[in-house]
Amino acid sequence: MKPLQKYLLKRVAAYIVTLYGAVTAVFFLFRLIPGNPIEAFIGQIMATQFTQAELARKLVEQYKAEFGLEGDLFTQYVNYMRQLLRGNFGVSLYGFPRSAQELIFQSLPWTIGLLGLSAVISWFFGVVLGALTAWKRESKVGAVLAGLAVVFSQIPYYIIAVTLVLVFSYMLGWLPATGAYNPSLSPGLNIQFILSVIKYGLLPALSLVLTQAFGWFLSTRYLTISLLGEDFLVYAEAKGIKQSRLFRRYVFRNILLPQTTGLGISLGFMIGGQIVLETIFAYPGMGYLFSRALGMLDYNLISGILILQSFVVLTANLILDLVYPLIDPRVKYHE
Amino acid sequence: MSRVRNSSKIIVSLKRVIGILGKNNKLKIGSSIFLALLVIGYISPFINRLRLGDKRPDALAVGRRWEQPSIKFPLGTDDYGRDIFGMLLIGTMYSLSIGLLAGAIATLIAVTIGFISGYKGGITDHVLRTFTDTLMVVPLWPIYMVIATYTRKLPLETVAILLGIFSWPGAARVIRAQVLSLRERAFVKLAKLNMLNDLEIVFTELLPNVAPYIVIGFINSAMGAIFAETGLRLIGIGPPLLPTLGYLLSITIGVGMLSVRPYVVAAVVAVLSLIFVSLNLINIGLEEEFNPRLKKVTGL
Amino acid sequence: MEKGTILEVKNLKVYYKTIAGDAKVVDDVTFSVYHGEIFGIAGESGCGKSTLVEGVYRIVKPPGYIAGGEVLFEGVDLLKLSEEEMRDIRWKKMAYIPQGAMSSLNPVLRVEEQMIDAILDHSNISKEEALEIAKKSLSELGLPEAVLRMYPHELSGGMKQRVIIATAYALRPDLIIADEPVTALDVVSTREVLQTLRELRDKYGATVMLVAHDMAVHAEIDDRLAVMYAGKVIEIGSVTDIFYDPLHPYTKGLIDSIPSIAKKKLIRGIPGIAPSPLNWPSGCRFHPRCPYARDICKAEEPELKEVKPGHLVACHLYGGD
């Protein structure tokens, strides 16, 4: 077997094993926590949904059957796995009678949109500015930005969010403090709605971008500066190549590798939905959903989100591992 | 005879370290701010006793409700009559304590695992490394949140322990890498020839060289713990009534001070920012000292 | 300007700014290089050889700076040119092979790109033509065309070195400066590289300035060489002059330290340690280590004088005084 195939096999096998481990861990997590979350959950459905008592009873029966909750631990485990493979997380309490998976997938676009966009924008500005200002060694802009970056990159984004809300919502009244769009509008592909989405998304996005962009700026700056002393740069300069080519192919290309991997990794984590950020702004993404679910002890929603999150992070890492050797010629497929 | 030499070696390197620390601007500014915060935080119970007598600032009705800022209550009171300024002071102490404790636990675990993994090598290393890498990849904060939600009353120590347990993998990796690279160096082999046993080698030869990474790891874990606890308290997750800065932030915002008395919120934000900025300055200062090439990077 | 001189270095000074003052690494160096010869620069590590050629090629990096002198390349003083004009001369007329060629290739670019980017930036030649030139250069050095598509880490040390030489010679510059081109190579690769340099001179009439601390390399391919010590040139001559009739005591010491398979001889080192550029010794800088030192050696710096035709030396033992 060629080394490439061997590696692929090993890596995918590891992925499956880890995924399986994560899912099993979630299963046991809830059964080990004191207070029997599942019973409490069922009890809550019955208790709170008195307006739809019949529906509630039916769904609870269905739920018990699907997940084998009447049987022993082993039956429960088998059924749990079986439902997972079907993508069924069970019925939710928060959005009763809708299923957990329905709620989750409905919230995903908001999270991906907000966080994905912020991540990409921060990355882009941070990396390009970081490399350019470091390349021009005497750059004063670079020094100033670096100083700012040292301060801002580690201040938690939620503190910046609070400050932004203080200034722009309460003091100036320019931007709204909560929500993803104007509640009087109905979602649709029209200009009004889109503009509203942008308006409501500005503050949350800004909170993220400010911290993340400065973070990328600093790391890129470190990378570029350490690159400047390298032999191959001296040689390239000795060849008398144009400055622009020097920057593009010799400097930028070399910092691009680690920084794109970094981006991939941070995107994988973003699915956590930046719980605090979304909750502060009541932004209807997966993070907000998670905190609401916690507030109501909505067992299915909580575990569903945990599973999805593990899945996305592990998959993102797998893709990164498989793709990296394609972009970095020095790395081959091996252990 | 060699033991005497080894202990004096440690003293020499300690002296050198203190000498270096005095020169770096970032380190000086960062550590002064942080030290000031620590001191204020830990003498706060005494300050509050002077100001309020026997009452705790977060007890209900220490003052009247919604008091305006005055000499007695520099930041006023909230809708339960709790003294905001007093809570700011002890909040500093609670938040810093969580950070330092979590940092210590995380560092302890990271150092143990990192050293065993890097020094022993072989199967032990392989197993530990896979374990660490897996933990790094799976996001652990949601699990903390779940645990905090389902078990209502957690004391400060438990919170710190949990947070510490969740943040050790990163530091462990770095430490392991350092130990690995040092293990093959000549001075370690020399120590082995001098018939020092493994434990002695670890403490006298390896530890001083890995020390900077350990300290940086500690600071990172501490920052991460304060970050997590504050952020989650802000949205209501965590043991209720633990009077950290996160708690203070959540009640002031929750009660609507953003619009009515923004300066109160600003004060809490300022203290929190100072904590993070000072720790970060110390971190970067340390990194610059041990990797002087980085010194040109930032203006200060 | 003599006939046939391609490079004339006059009183070149390259200093390094340090907190303890200026380190005078290259301190008033004068020599000439003729067309079509291989000119060597020999000396211990730290005597200033590399800095000398960095000064000539004008790639001295801070805290180093050029403190004075002239570098006349084909009549033009390089030190007076602007960066743009200098960039114009680089690679077309004058090429540079740096020390540590192993790490001089960009790890993320293919060899072909690194070979032609200098060509492309210095002329209006199309990409296809440039590739052809690169292919030809490689084959002249005995490297297969397949090398072009490879990445640097896929090549051996000797191959990388030859790629660098091929790139240097792609535009047929008149002068090639090579800084320690064989220091890190094994014997076989060394032989190949030296052979290549010889061919560049014989077949294409190139002039090569070769910096090396290994006297054996100089003996092998130099036509003429200069010996440096403590920032100064202390002897210049043809390779036969230097090796069979070394005049300066330091040169004698260097030659004596070369092991020989043919003769049984006692290998002597040179006693003492190399001085620091922050604090060169007074008078003749070699006097603390010289077995023939006299009073005047401590007091006065000897001038570089032509003692025999084409053989110059800076030593108070010669030049009638």
Rounded to the nearest 10 degrees, what angle do helices A299-327 and B122-137 cross at?
120
Under 8 Å CB pairs connecting chains A and B tally to 129
Distance set, CA A153 to CA A217, A267, B122 (Å)? 9, 17, 38
In angstroms, rounded to a whole number, what is the distance separating the alpha carbons of residues B252 and B263? 11
Does some domain include residue B295?
Answer: no
In angstroms, rounded to a whole number, what is the distance separating the alpha carbons of residues A176 and A170? 9
A71 at interface of B, judged by CB pairs closer than 8 A: no
Using one digit for the tens of pLDDT, what is the confidence trace for A232-247?
Answer: 888 888 887 888 888 8
Does some domain include residue B193?
Answer: yes
List the Cα angle A228/A234/A240 in 5-degree steps: 120
pLDDT of residue C321: 45
Q: Do A240 and C151 lie within an 8 Å CB cutoff?
A: no
Q: What is this structure's pTM? A: 0.79
CB B280 within 8 A of CB A153: yes
Tell me which of C250 and A188 has the higher pLDDT.
Answer: C250
Closest CA to B230 of B255, B257, B251, B250: B250
In angstroms, rounded to a whole number, what is the distance separating the alpha carbons of residues C69 and C12? 4
Q: Do B276 and A155 lie within an 8 Å CB cutoff?
A: yes
Min Cα distance C315 → chain A (Å) is 36
Q: In what order do the strands lie in the sheet with C21-34?
A: C21-34, C5-18, C64-73, C76-77
pLDDT of residue A1: 60
Rounded to the nearest 10 degrees, what angle do helices A157-164 and A191-228 cross at?
130
End-to-end CA distance of chain C: 29
B139 at interface of A, judged by CB pairs closer than 8 A: yes
Residue with tokens 């996305």: A312
Domain count of chain C? 1
Does some domain include residue B113?
Answer: yes
Q: Say if residue B292 is exposed, middle or buried (CB neighbours under 10 Å; 0-12, 13-18, 19+).
A: exposed
- Looking up residue B195, the CATH number of its domain turns out to be 1.10.3720.10
B270 at interface of A, judged by CB pairs closer than 8 A: no
Mean pLDDT (chain B) is 81
DSSP state of C245: S
β partners of residue C239: none
Residue with tokens 């001369």: C89
Which domain covers residue B99, as residue numbers?
2-290
β partners of residue C8: C32, C72
**Interface C:B, ≥3 CB–CB pairs < 8 Å:** no
Min Cα distance A263 → chain C (Å) is 19
Contacts of A144 in chain B (CB under 8 A): 299
pLDDT of residue A58: 79
pLDDT of residue A101: 87
Contacts of C88 in chain A (CB under 8 A): 240
In angstroms, rounded to a whole number, what is the distance separating the alpha carbons of residues C254 and A53? 102
Q: Do A253 and C118 lie within an 8 Å CB cutoff?
A: no
Which domain covers residue C36, as residue numbers?
5-318
In angstroms, rounded to a whole number, what is the distance separating the alpha carbons of residues A37 and B216? 39
Give the number of C-alpha atoms closer than 13 A to the C-alpha of residue C110, restricted to the C-beta side.
12
- ipTM > 0.95 (yes/no): no
Closest CA to A275 of C167, B142, C93: B142
Min Cα distance B232 → chain A (Å) is 7
pLDDT of residue B1: 45
DSSP per position, C16-78: EEETTEEEEEEEEEEEEEETT-EEEEE--TTSSHHHHHHHHHT-PPTTEEEEEEEEEETTEEG
Identity of residue B31: S
Which whole number is the average pLDDT over C147-167? 85
pLDDT of residue C41: 93
CB B268 within 8 A of CB B252: yes
Whether the CA torsion B104, B105, B106, B107 is positive or negative: it is positive
pLDDT at C3 over 70: no
Q: Say if residue C244 is exposed, middle or buried (CB neighbours under 10 Å; 0-12, 13-18, 19+).
A: exposed
Give the number of residues written for chain B. 300
In angstroms, rounded to a whole number, what is the distance separating the alpha carbons of residues A10 and A30? 31
In angstroms, rounded to a whole number, what is the distance separating the alpha carbons of residues A139 and A132? 9
Chain A, residues 6-25, CB within 8 A of chain B, namely 18, 21-22
Mean pLDDT (chain C) is 85
Q: Assign A62 a pLDDT band (cuts: 50, 70, 90).
A: confident
In angstroms, rounded to a whole number, what is the distance separating the alpha carbons of residues B216 and B287? 8
Q: Which of A261-270, A286-295, B160-169 has the lowest mean pLDDT?
A: A261-270
Using one digit for the tens of pLDDT, what is the confidence trace for B107-127?
Answer: 999 988 888 888 877 888 888
CB C125 within 8 A of CB A265: no
pLDDT of residue B270: 92
In angstroms, rounded to a whole number, what is the distance separating the alpha carbons of residues B240 and C248? 87
- Looking up residue C144, the CATH number of its domain turns out to be 3.40.50.300
pLDDT of residue C33: 92
Domain count of chain B? 1
User: In which residue ranges of chain B is pLDDT below 50?
Assistant: 1, 300
